[in-house]
Structure 1
Amino acid sequence: MPLYRDAGADVEDRVADLLGRMTLDEKIAQMHAGWLKLSPDGKHEWRIADFAQRTTGVSVDSLLEHGLGQITRPLGTHTVDPKEGVRALNELQRRMVEETRLGIPVMSHEECLVGLMIKDATLFPAPLNYAATWNPELIERVGAVIGQQARSIGCHQGLAPVLDVSRDPRWGRTEETLGEDPYLVGVMACRYVKGLQGEQRDLLATLKHFAGHSASEGGRNHAPIHVGPREFNDIFLLPFEMAVKLADAGSVMPAYHDVDGVPCHEDHSLLTEILREKWGFDGLIVADYAGVNLLYTHHGVARDAASAAAMSFNAGLDIELPGHECALHLKDALARGEIKEETIDSIVARILTAKFRLGLFEHPYADPENVALRGEEASRVAYQAAVESAMLLSNDGTLPLDVERTGTLAIIGPTADDPLALLAGYSFPVHLINAGEHAGAPMATPLQALRARFGASRVVYAKGCDVIKERSQGAPVYPGDVEMNEAINQSRQSLISTDTGQINEAVAAAKQADVAVVFVGDLAGLFQSGTVGEGSDTDSLDLPGVQQALLEAVVATGTPTVAVLTGGRPYNLGGLEDRIAAEIMAFAPGEGGAEALADLLTGAVNFSGRLPLSVPKSAGAIPFVYNHKLKSAGTPIAYHFGSRFPFGFGLSYTKFEYSDLELEQAEVPIEDGAAVLRFVVENVGMRAGTEVVQVYVRDCLASAVRPVRELKAFARVALGPGQRGKVRIVIPVDMLNFTGHRGERIVEPGQFDLMVGSSSRDIHLNATVNVVGEGTRVLPRNWRMLSEASVVVDETAAESVVAGAVAG
């Protein structure tokens, strides 16, 4: 038996043995994927798409002759019964193991951002919802459920989570982010990664999009980003650094854009010097779909496919996804001296290492009879994520609705009875729209859930308008797929409806009701098949289509109006915020969203969600983020600057008061110190509720301009009526760092303001800590990245957590 087949041998020895046996063709085969429609009978077909894997003239048999690194979305490419999909994947695997010379198994990857993106998998809320829970433990459970479902279909790598830090809500992929604060993003991402990968790391999470994708010009997809090296490191790289060092993430995916003229897929500094050498990353770097190809078709930095492949692999890439358009030309690049075989060997060694670590050689097949995609636990976790993420932004006392006493309820709006309106763009039913397929979403709508609560006779429904009358495929994916002059000078007809013909029916419904609940917002859809999602960017924060006119007409009836916003970005209500009875922002709450919203509207449960990003006053206020610099407001302060509802904000059906702030030490050493705060939070209302306490820091004097405040700690504090919670927060001095002029993370001695609040705006307690030491301190590789929080409720019950805990 060859050494590489000995499961008891060291992985390093197995890799060396197998690599030494491989031909150049067999090595190159491991460096790319195949995007096929698999069949249990082995008659696999190409999956051809304009935006990725165009026809190359290569037969499927030729592609598979020497093996294959990965198979792209075997169950998620099109609608297939999961058991049949596993049988088809097993047949491909059998061919790799039994009919190729060396029998190297293939890795399978799927999308899994909001649940496994295949037929019948659990439909979880959007990542914005994950962040809005401010509950890292819950998001780890979400990741664990998704990981269990992925393993059951033979998936080895999940293309999630997204660590892009939101900077412009016009960007369609805002829904995929975990908000605008790098620490919150990092904490939540770490817990998702730990849940998805499990203790054995036998399923690889993929951190994306590395890095800065969310800071694109004008919020336009793929557009360049313009940030300095300090901001790039402190804002956009920090979550990735956390997930690599704290959660041992198994894979990273570069982004499509360029940074100062350098596309991420060819950036050696980013992929090798920072990620591997500086941070110690030991996993796989996989291309974003067609990202290698774009180096010569769009960016214009490579002369052909061979050069594009050489550039990417020299920079640090390991595997081209989703197909083989460029990797198959590596022999040409090798002959031209654009890449060395030693570089190819080192890449293939990393790929083989991953496959050995995953146990793929010993367990290449999945059991189709053990596919497990649904269950009570998965549904419960999906519901919990939905209920903890919905945010109450205003309430004049109309909420909660009394199921017994409220008379007639008008349910109005284009998203009230559309299950797809509760789903994010990377959910399977939504993703299929742009592929020309339509799949149902087996889930309740808000209308159905509220009818069940109040009875059909007490609920009157009117749609009021459409967001999009008929869902269909959207626009060309990439700039460059159409002539640029044509794209700039000719406007494409939008799918968004401008028909106001249904508004009168909604007005009539509101007039006969005691309360009107109006559901408005987005429809997720890729590449302009919806109003939000990848490639569905916008130029406005006004509600899409005629929804604003609908809401204005309902409010004008005088009936108390509750606005419920769902979708993938925050929207303004054109001044109606001051005239409506209540406003709820629920983002895309997934399959449990309808029941969660019904429970929250009726007070069966209390609101505890908090905004993970600011709601700018208008598109003209963009960019606006809470952690801006002082002069960002302009001089004088621009009238349009700011946010009505700030980062961290959210109300509930009870009230909380803060008191008794104490610092354990007014001075802390710069080498190993920590700022330790103690304070009390009291529930002074009549209902049980959960407060999300937040601690912000401001560096009073620094060698570089610093933000007005930055989140450094948070904790959920659950209290019954009249209960008091004693909170203790520990913020390591390391977390007071920023990037110095040499690109190193540094901490400087001096004063730091500590602000305890219920949002980035609503600060209730203040203190100042003095960091003392002899000069500036450069942080080591493994610096302390997490704060800690502990809560003692009424002296009787204690709970200690790491705020964003990735340990213990």
Structure 2
Amino acid sequence: METAFSPAPYKDPAQPIEARVRDLLERMSLDEKIAQMHAFWLILSEDGQHHVRPSVGFIDGTDQPSFQRRLANGVGQVTRPLGTHSVEAGSGLRALNKLQRFLRNETRLGIPALSHEECLVGLMTRDATAFPSTLALSASWNPELIESVAQQIGQECRQLGCHQGLAPVLDVSRDVRWGRTEETFGEDPYLVGVLATRYVRGLQGPQRDLLATLKHYAGHSFSEGARNHAPVHLGWRELNDVFLLPFEMAVKQANAGSVMPAYHDIDGEPCHASRHLLTEVLRHRWGFDGLVVADYVGVSLLYRHHRVAADAADAAALSFNAGLDVELPADDCAMQLRLALERGAITLAKIDEIVARVLKEKFRLGLFEQTFEDRAEPPRLRSPECVATALEAARQSLVVLDNRSGILPLAPAARQRIAVIGPTAADPMGQLSGYSYHAHSIAPDEVQDTSHIVTPLQGIQALFGASLVRYEQGCQILEQRSAGTPVFPGDVDDAGKLPRQASPVSRRTDRIPAAAQAARSADLAIVCVGDLAGLFQRGTIAEGSDTDSLSLPGVQQQLLEAVVATGTPTIVVLSGGRPYNLGGLEDKLAAFVMAFAGGQEGGRALAEVLAGRVEPSGRLTLSTPVNVGAMPYYYNHKLKSGGTPIALHFGSPYPFGHGLSYTRFEYRRLAVATPEVPIEDGQVELSFELANVGERSGIEVVQLYVRDCQASLVRPVRELKAFRRVALEPGHSARVTFRVPVDMLGFTGMTGQRIVEPGLFDLALGASSADIRLRAQVQVCGPLRTLGRDWRMESHSEVQPL
């Protein structure tokens, strides 16, 4: 019996979590249970006068009077309390605490809410650190660095009352026309899995006291024509081997706390309604024990777009029965669960099962023991430690694609006159990806402070001397950053009647002559071109900003042609979220650098690499197609992907794994530990000598690729199975050893299960997927083997100086 001295069991932290969940669930009304299965998207206020976010054109949600009444039942989550609008961090935290105190102290059962924020490239709030894009981070090929970045992001999240971060993105890139390419870790499923696993470990910490959210589950990046939300055509075997593998790795190896299904359908089945994906695979096969949260309005799309549900109640029943736990960002469909229950479309037992999972996480995270009182000290964001990590990440992400003239590194002491040209050279927004706060939250009536973002121009001026640098913009990518672009509906019944909107990309060329003149007057031209991130066609890259071309957006190609025609040695710095072709000018450049979106320290890192203060160590994690006609293109394709005869537009001048150093490395003395490997528990072990034979210190990213010489199903021409960053001083060498579990040579067989087949395998060691230096073979011996649940998913490496 509950007394003043004997609180209800669910309020007693000494009780087992299961007992607390059971006790609380028994006390809850149906409305209180349903409240835990959705979020409210609010504009919070320190005075407690919270408001439902105004309509954004694709969310019905709850009106203000209904919200005030229903908040008494509690709520499962609060959507982006500090990331929805421009708010000072301390004020935003106080407003969130005010809401939490109301839920804890003034509702019948006192259940706090989970607060979630976007945090893909840093906590997506006004004052947080802006790290490089995910694609940039992947170019470091440095799992430890990515874990460190995620740790810093997690620290900023925790300071602002955030319990769940909607990151990382585990989509495997397949077609770089897709606007969300910049959010991915690249085109190799194993590399994506390794890097995402480290990100999850870093963000969540050892106690999983902040939930990482794996998205977008699954196959989102292989849509028709690389168009956002478009259908995906995949069989189970390719889905499992390529697109599910990173998710499986992050669930099993990093204990990921949450998963978010994707918007699309696969062979007619929407991911938000797939019991096979959300329950059978995720929970039953992999052992996932966290929360499945909807992508924003993903439940509504089941009846609005996919038309597999009759209405909101039907859509809610369909998704929650499939395995969903929480509808985000609001309550569009969850508010109709009572109707779904009356219809018999969902059972009370299923609702109890879902609510129990939500409550379990809230108890496990310690929310019921928090008082949510305001702290005296302000949140510590953008700390020196965070900024230093962002700078190091930007340094390691830069990829020197070409340096045929040997112009790099530049010598600041030479005091060359430098013309810095291009639309991204002096624009802070050019350093940001779509899920950076300032790019994501474009609003016409808000001017955001970007003074903390170092542009390429600022970085070059600081290192080479402002008096030696002349700047000309040359052209713009966008004349105006617009807001309010329509997002939904994203489909039309008759494409022939679709109104054609004018592209926001600038076509003005009147500034190009001044840029060409600046180049003529200089000893060297650095031309900065690429993307401006903006969601849903507010930019040239990001979610919903897909493309039909790999030519530089707008008139940037004309600008580049004019500068190159002057004869001044030209270095191109390409930033943004996808590779672009330069119309044949690649062969006429002095050097070509891929900078991606470097975050707030991107300009500083670029100048340091150009000057040789920092050795370039970035390597591509997706291939640059020779032509848009090659799309979809990826290095680990099947043999006949190029057609017969091989299509002229197929291939990549800068392939997966490519990147140059300022020194030279030699690969020598390959040794395979044993030429025959047992199929049951064996591992492929090989070692080789890596030598720095140049005159500078440098970092090589050594890569091991494997090919199955004969299999029961068609296999890729090569697959990455191991990699390692190796730093060597000039004249020094080291012995590098790779150990690859035989399990990693498997694939999904005819029965739908992962198998390892006996046979011969080619081993290829090199500096990229196309730059192979050493080769060997091993024989896997024994009967065909079906892999169990706990198969070995990662290789290991060692480096011993010689």
Q: 2:69 — aligned with what?
A: 62
Please point out which of 604, 607, 610 is paired with 1:598.
Answer: 607
Q: 1:19 — aligned with what?
A: 25
User: Which range moved further: 365-374 or 696-705?
Assistant: 365-374
Q: 1:687 — aligned with what?
A: 696
Matches within 5 A, 1:2-401: 2-54=8-60, 56-57=62-63, 59-365=66-372, 367-368=374-375, 369-395=377-403, 396-401=405-410
Q: 1:625 — aligned with what?
A: 634
- Is 2:451 the partner of 1:445? no
Residue type of the alignment partner of 2:789? R
Per the alignment, in what secondary structure is the counterpart of residue 147 of structure 1?
A: helix
Per the alignment, in what secondary structure is the counterpart of residue 416 of structure 2?
A: coil
Per the alignment, in what secondary structure is the counterpart of residue 101 of structure 1?
A: coil
Q: 1:806 — aligned with what?
A: none
Q: 1:762 — aligned with what?
A: 771
- What displacement does 1:85 show? 0.6
Per the alignment, in what secondary structure is the counterpart of residue 780 of structure 2?
A: strand
Report the TM-score when normalising by structure 1: 0.97
Please point out which of 589, 598, 606 is paired with 1:589.
Answer: 598
User: Which range moved further: 360-369 or 455-464?
Assistant: 360-369
| Paired residues of 1:116 and 1:149 also in contact (CA < 8 A) | yes
User: Which range moved further: 437-446 or 308-317?
Assistant: 437-446
Tell me, in whole angstroms, the C-alpha distance in 2 between the residues paired with 1:283 and 1:706: 34
Q: 1:803 — aligned with what?
A: none
| Paired residues of 1:154 and 1:366 also in contact (CA < 8 A) | no
- State the superposition RMSD in angstroms: 1.2
Please point out which of 767, 777, 791 is paired with 2:799.
Answer: 791
**1:1-52 deviation digits (Å, cap 9, x = unpaired):** 0111111111111111111111111100000000000011110011123344
User: Which range moved further: 452-461 or 132-141?
Assistant: 452-461
- What displacement does 1:53 show? 2.6
Please point out which of 454, 464, 467 is paired with 2:474.
Answer: 464
Tell me, in whole angstroms, the C-alpha distance in 2 between the residues paired with 1:320 and 1:541: 36
Tell me, in whole angstroms, the C-alpha distance in 1 between the residues paired with 2:55 and 2:537: 17
**1:223-282 deviation digits (Å, cap 9, x = unpaired):** 000111110000000000000000000000000000011100000000000000000000
Per the alignment, in what secondary structure is the counterpart of residue 563 of structure 1?
A: strand
Tell me, in whole angstroms, the C-alpha distance in 1 between the residues paired with 2:445 and 2:300: 24
- Name the CA shift for 1:344/1:224 in 2 (closer, same or farther; >3 Å): same
- Is 2:488 the partner of 1:478? yes
Residue type of the alignment partner of 1:625? Y
Per the alignment, in what secondary structure is the counterpart of residue 324 of structure 1?
A: coil
- What displacement does 1:417 show? 0.1
**1:586-633 deviation digits (Å, cap 9, x = unpaired):** 110101101100000111111000000000011111111000000111
**1:712-761 deviation digits (Å, cap 9, x = unpaired):** 00000000001101100000000001001111111001111010010000
Tell me, in whole angstroms, the C-alpha distance in 2 between the residues paired with 1:264 and 1:293: 13
Residue type of the alignment partner of 1:472? S
Residue type of the alignment partner of 1:733? V
Alignment length (residue pairs) = 792
Per the alignment, in what secondary structure is the counterpart of residue 274 of structure 1?
A: helix
Tell me, in whole angstroms, the C-alpha distance in 2 between the residues paired with 1:193 and 1:171: 24
- What displacement does 1:56 show? 3.9
Residue type of the alignment partner of 1:238? L
**1:352-405 deviation digits (Å, cap 9, x = unpaired):** 010011011112526442412121110110001100000000011111111011
| Paired residues of 1:626 and 1:760 also in contact (CA < 8 A) | yes
| Paired residues of 2:61 and 2:331 also in contact (CA < 8 A) | no
- Name the CA shift for 1:608/1:168 in 2 (closer, same or farther; >3 Å): same
Please point out which of 406, 424, 428 is paired with 2:433.
Answer: 424
Please point out which of 530, 536, 548 is paired with 1:527.
Answer: 536
Tell me, in whole angstroms, the C-alpha distance in 1 between the residues paired with 2:707 and 2:281: 27
- What displacement does 1:63 show? 2.7
| Paired residues of 1:688 and 1:721 also in contact (CA < 8 A) | yes
Structure 2 residue runs of 5 or longer lacking an equivalent are: 1-6
**1:52-94 deviation digits (Å, cap 9, x = unpaired):** 4325445221230101000000011000111111111011101
Structure 1 residue runs of 5 or longer lacking an equivalent are: 795-808
- Name the CA shift for 1:530/1:120 in 2 (closer, same or farther; >3 Å): same
Q: 2:3 — aligned with what?
A: none
Tell me, in whole angstroms, the C-alpha distance in 1 between the residues paired with 2:497 and 2:546: 16
Tell me, in whole angstroms, the C-alpha distance in 2 between the residues paired with 1:760 and 1:484: 43
User: Which range moved further: 539-548 or 450-459?
Assistant: 450-459
- What displacement does 1:656 show? 0.5
Please point out which of 519, 527, 547 is paired with 1:518.
Answer: 527
Per the alignment, in what secondary structure is the counterpart of residue 420 of structure 1?
A: helix
- Name the CA shift for 1:597/1:580 in 2 (closer, same or farther; >3 Å): same
- Is 2:540 the partner of 1:537? no
- Name the CA shift for 1:702/1:474 in 2 (closer, same or farther; >3 Å): farther
- Name the CA shift for 1:253/1:459 in 2 (closer, same or farther; >3 Å): same
| Paired residues of 2:458 and 2:604 also in contact (CA < 8 A) | no
Tell me, in whole angstroms, the C-alpha distance in 2 between the residues paired with 1:453 and 1:629: 46
Residue type of the alignment partner of 1:342? A
- Name the CA shift for 1:438/1:167 in 2 (closer, same or farther; >3 Å): farther
Q: 1:708 — aligned with what?
A: 717
**1:391-443 deviation digits (Å, cap 9, x = unpaired):** 00001111111101142000000000001100000000111116864423222
- What displacement does 1:451 show? 1.2
